Chains A and B, each alone.
Chain A
Amino acid sequence: MAQFKMHLLVCGGTGCRASQSEIIVENLKSEIKNLGLENDAQVVITGCFGFCEKGPIVKIVPDNTFYTQVKPEDCAEIVREHILKGRKVKRLLYEDPETQKHIEDSKHMNFYQKQIRIALRNCGFIDPENIDEYIARDGYAALGNIITGMSPQEAIDIMKKSGLRGRGGGGFPTGIKWEIASKSKADQKYVVCNADEGDPGAFMDRSILEGDPHSVIEAMAICGYCIGATKGIVYIRAEYPLAIKRLKIAARQSRAYGLLGQDILGSGFSFDIELRYGAGAFVCGEETALIKSMEGLRGEPTVKPPFPAEKGYLGKPTNVNNVETFANVPAIFLKGADWFSSIGTAKSKGTKVFALAGKINNVGLIEVPMGITLREVIFEIGGGIKDGKKFKAVQTGGPSGGCLTEKHLDTPIDFDNLIAAGSMMGSGGMIVMDEDDCMVSVAKFYLEFTVEESCGKCAPCRIGNKRLHEILEKICSGKGVEADIDYLKNLSRVIKDTALCGLGQTSPNPVLSTIEHFHDEYLAHVKERICPAGSCKALKLYTILPDKCTGCTACVRACPVDAITGEKRQAHVIDVNKCIRCGACYEKCKFTAIHVQ
């Protein structure tokens, strides 16, 4: 490989590409050419840096200068000033929102300081379309060591010792899963990578596949060796065209290097992968449904047992792991199980990637050690709540998870603590909400999702969630009664106990957790008929501002339900219990005396 003094890393993830990062790459390249710097500086398109809020990002190494919100017209200046003259372009540096100081390099940004990047170790560092860059960072070394010098059981023991648990949501110990599959006897076994990332607001799997596809391929091969499979299948969402493209390129390159295919590295072990596309069904993230879908059928889950490790794809033993889980595997073998298990908490080892989104300053992708607190994630890494508003809740675990509130801010995040708090890890989406978000509406939003995505096979999920949604709809439109809250709770428990698969068993979580933590808000909706967050249209609270009201009685005549009373030329009042929120008074008032909350 050629040696360059400087590398200009440009984020080529979906988010930054949507903000013209491809044009930025072109402009940087042409300016480098104009100034004759082709032998000194190289432009590399990398995966996601994680700091999506301020994209597009251009990072310059070795000095780690981190330019944010770069526009195509800034490129000439970056090359002329930074590359040619060695002067940083100050106005493009990240500005610390508290001190208003420009931060010289990424190592000093709050966003990165608390992060430990294992699964994302190569994202934003290497060109994902170039296998040499992956190999230069010890890529495929773990696979080589294992297939030439370790028995499958020895490798499985390392996985077990590391304590890695499935990152797709369930948190099942990966080593044990591999061991079960390895002990199943069959002429053919399969390794499946679940890349059907469906949680709205979670995009870590996509970022890993876009930024470091080789790490997943390498891990799948390692898994194949451990369980005795020669075939791997990546089940990926058709909605991720860029990830598909990069995965295909990566597989082609690995084959050309003899790292996939027959007799890998002369070890006698053969393994290859193929791609299967999802077609937009959330339930296919559930492993038995995923297997049905791979077989060309409707993605309906089946009863476990038999587990896929015994009877999976085409009736053969199948090991299904999620993208992020796989991305951890090569690092564990390179650095050792002890190193991995030294990070994290007693029962949750290593790190977790979270997608921070919603009303937070630094939207993006972060990887933090298990056991970090929500406060650190939201206020230190995430930079706090947008527009100086008040933190209200954070939703974790997507449609299967729940809301955590202020009182959970100092709880260490791991699989078990989140479940104890009424939520779950899920795939790692973290949606931050502020005072303007109505929690009843949020619960309704998730139920809308579940109703649409329920496969319809079992009645509790198909009918029960529909009923939950109807009741929430009723509450949000101001027609709820107090008994509805108990009804929601009862029905939720029944669905949890009786639904067939993980989707139905967890779908009432957003309802239960919002009722538990925001009971007052539900009560306000059904008793006082107001939405404290001011978000439910039908529950807008109309009041008259006495200092503006002239007592002209125009509103009294407009009100269809005689809810407004008052003497002529005196300030009037609206009886909230009679008011039907039609807005007629608001329309009629010439003195802007009607206040809408």
Chain B
Amino acid sequence: MSALILQDCHKKTIEEICIYYKNDPGDLIKILHKAQTAFGYLPESVQREIAFHLKISVAKVYGVVTFYSFFTMTPKGKHPISVCMGTACYVRGAEKVLDELKDQLRIKVGGVTENGKFSLDCLRCVGACGLAPVLLIGEKVYGRVEASQIKGILDSYQD
């Protein structure tokens, strides 16, 4: 778990989110969604702070964070890459696309490149099965991707 030392402004953000949901532990998942949007990820310090406000144990918060794949405890790259591994994409060659990405970026699934530019994840079905195999970089959807196109796509992200 990467350490994030919470500044006062961070603590205030978390407090506001919790108050918005009336510090109700029943809204924990909503709170975590909001917190992840604000911080980009959910490090230990953020989880501790949320647990404090909701008056529940950190273990409980941690249990929920690790249960749901949408929540992450590591920061994503500047351009997060997600490869759809739904069945439709799988039978149309998503694995080859993923292997190519791993080779090109030299990272594993769930990893971030050293310069923090790209991170690589798999996801289950974005529902654009007509375009399989599908790749998402940030919000942009790339359809009918072939392994040979990967280098060109990555090169188009210069910054």
Seen from chain A, the residues whose Cβ lies within 8 Å of a Cβ on chain B are 14-15, 18-19, 52-53, 55, 198-203, 206-207, 238-240, 276-282, 293, 295-299, 314, 355, 357-359, 363-364, 395, 398, 429, 431, 433, 437, 442, 445-446, 449, 452, 455
By the criterion CB–CB under 8 Å, are B91 and A359 in contact?
yes
By the criterion CB–CB under 8 Å, are B124 and A198 in contact?
yes
- Tell me which residues from 28 to 65 in chain B have a Cβ below 8 Å from any Cβ of chain A: 28-30, 32-33, 63-64
Complexed CA–CA distance, A279 and B125 (Å): 14
* Interface residue from A295, A298, A437, A452 paired with B67 (Cβ < 8 Å): A298
Q: How far is the CB of A18 from chain B (nearest CB, A)?
A: 4
By the criterion CB–CB under 8 Å, are B30 and A277 in contact?
yes
By the criterion CB–CB under 8 Å, are A18 and B128 in contact?
yes
By the criterion CB–CB under 8 Å, are B92 and A358 in contact?
yes
- The verdict on A296 contacting B92 (CB below 8 Å), with A14-B128, A200-B124, A201-B125 known, is no
Complexed CA–CA distance, A297 and B63 (Å): 8
Complexed CA–CA distance, A162 and B48 (Å): 52
By the criterion CB–CB under 8 Å, are B87 and A395 in contact?
yes
B127 within 8 A of A: yes
Complexed CA–CA distance, A395 and B67 (Å): 28
Complexed CA–CA distance, A313 and B147 (Å): 46
Interface centre among B26, B28, B63, B134 (most CB of A within 10 A): B26
Closest to B27 in A: A296
Contacts of B152 in A (CB 8 A): none
Q: How far is the CB of B103 from chain A (nearest CB, A)?
A: 15
- Tell me which residues from 123 to 137 in chain B have a Cβ below 8 Å from any Cβ of chain A: 123-132, 134
Q: How far is the CB of A551 from chain B (nearest CB, A)?
A: 35
Contacts of B125 in A (CB 8 A): 199-203
* Interface residue from A201, A437, A449 paired with B129 (Cβ < 8 Å): A201
Complexed CA–CA distance, A159 and B54 (Å): 42
Complexed CA–CA distance, A203 and B143 (Å): 16
Contacts of B67 in A (CB 8 A): 281, 298-299, 455
- The verdict on A238 contacting B70 (CB below 8 Å), with A52-B129, A203-B125, A282-B124 known, is yes
B141 within 8 A of A: yes
Q: How far is the CB of B52 from chain A (nearest CB, A)?
A: 16
By the criterion CB–CB under 8 Å, are A15 and B127 in contact?
yes
Contacts of A53 in B (CB 8 A): 130
By the criterion CB–CB under 8 Å, are A437 and B86 in contact?
no
* Interface residue from A200, A278, A314, A364 paired with B86 (Cβ < 8 Å): A200
Complexed CA–CA distance, A203 and B67 (Å): 23
Complexed CA–CA distance, A277 and B68 (Å): 11
Contacts of A442 in B (CB 8 A): 91
Provide a sorted-by-A list of 23 A–B residue pairs whose CB atoms are within 8 angstroms: A14-B126, A52-B131, A55-B131, A203-B129, A239-B123, A240-B127, A278-B68, A279-B32, A279-B33, A280-B68, A280-B70, A281-B67, A282-B124, A295-B26, A296-B24, A296-B25, A296-B27, A298-B64, A299-B68, A357-B88, A358-B91, A431-B88, A442-B91
Q: How far is the CB of A238 from chain B (nearest CB, A)?
A: 6
Complexed CA–CA distance, A442 and B87 (Å): 9
By the criterion CB–CB under 8 Å, are A15 and B130 in contact?
yes
Q: How far is the CB of B109 from chain A (nearest CB, A)?
A: 11
Q: How far is the CB of A393 from chain B (nearest CB, A)?
A: 10
Contacts of B90 in A (CB 8 A): 200, 445
- The verdict on A431 contacting B91 (CB below 8 Å), with A15-B127, A281-B69, A296-B28 known, is yes
Q: How far is the CB of A106 from chain B (nearest CB, A)?
A: 17
Contacts of B123 in A (CB 8 A): 239
By the criterion CB–CB under 8 Å, are B88 and A200 in contact?
yes
* Interface residue from A238, A281, A314 paired with B33 (Cβ < 8 Å): A238
- The verdict on A18 contacting B29 (CB below 8 Å), with A53-B130, A201-B88 known, is no
Closest to A386 in B: B92
B85 within 8 A of A: yes
Q: Which 3 A-B pairs have the closest CB atoms?
A: A52-B130, A203-B127, A279-B68
By the criterion CB–CB under 8 Å, are B124 and A277 in contact?
no
By the criterion CB–CB under 8 Å, are A429 and B130 in contact?
no
Contacts of B30 in A (CB 8 A): 276-277, 296
Contacts of B68 in A (CB 8 A): 278-281, 299
Contacts of A433 in B (CB 8 A): 91
Q: How far is the CB of B10 from chain A (nearest CB, A)?
A: 22
Interface centre among B26, B63, B124, B130 (most CB of A within 10 A): B130
Closest to A277 in B: B33
Contacts of A55 in B (CB 8 A): 130-131
By the criterion CB–CB under 8 Å, are A357 and B141 in contact?
no
By the criterion CB–CB under 8 Å, are A449 and B69 in contact?
no
Contacts of B85 in A (CB 8 A): 200
Complexed CA–CA distance, A442 and B64 (Å): 31
Q: How far is the CB of B61 from chain A (nearest CB, A)?
A: 10
Contacts of B25 in A (CB 8 A): 296
* Interface residue from B29, B87, B88, B132 paired with A277 (Cβ < 8 Å): B29
Contact flags (1/0) for B68-86 with A, using CB distance below 8 Å? 1111000000000000011
By the criterion CB–CB under 8 Å, are A18 and B88 in contact?
no
Contacts of B129 in A (CB 8 A): 15, 52, 201, 203, 355, 357, 363
- The verdict on A15 contacting B131 (CB below 8 Å), with A238-B70, A280-B70, A398-B87 known, is yes
Q: How far is the CB of A378 from chain B (nearest CB, A)?
A: 14
By the criterion CB–CB under 8 Å, are B29 and A363 in contact?
no
By the criterion CB–CB under 8 Å, are B92 and A359 in contact?
yes
Q: How far is the CB of A149 from chain B (nearest CB, A)?
A: 37
Closest to A356 in B: B129
Complexed CA–CA distance, A282 and B90 (Å): 18
* Interface residue from B24, B27, B63, B91 paired with A298 (Cβ < 8 Å): B63
Contacts of A452 in B (CB 8 A): 69
Complexed CA–CA distance, A280 and B67 (Å): 9
- For the A-B complex with A53-B130, A239-B70, A277-B29 known, give 12 more contacts whose Cβ atoms are closer than 8 Å: A198-B124, A202-B125, A240-B127, A277-B30, A278-B70, A280-B71, A296-B29, A357-B88, A358-B88, A437-B91, A442-B91, A445-B90
Q: How far is the CB of B127 from chain A (nearest CB, A)?
A: 3
Complexed CA–CA distance, A279 and B65 (Å): 9
By the criterion CB–CB under 8 Å, are A206 and B127 in contact?
yes
Complexed CA–CA distance, A437 and B30 (Å): 41
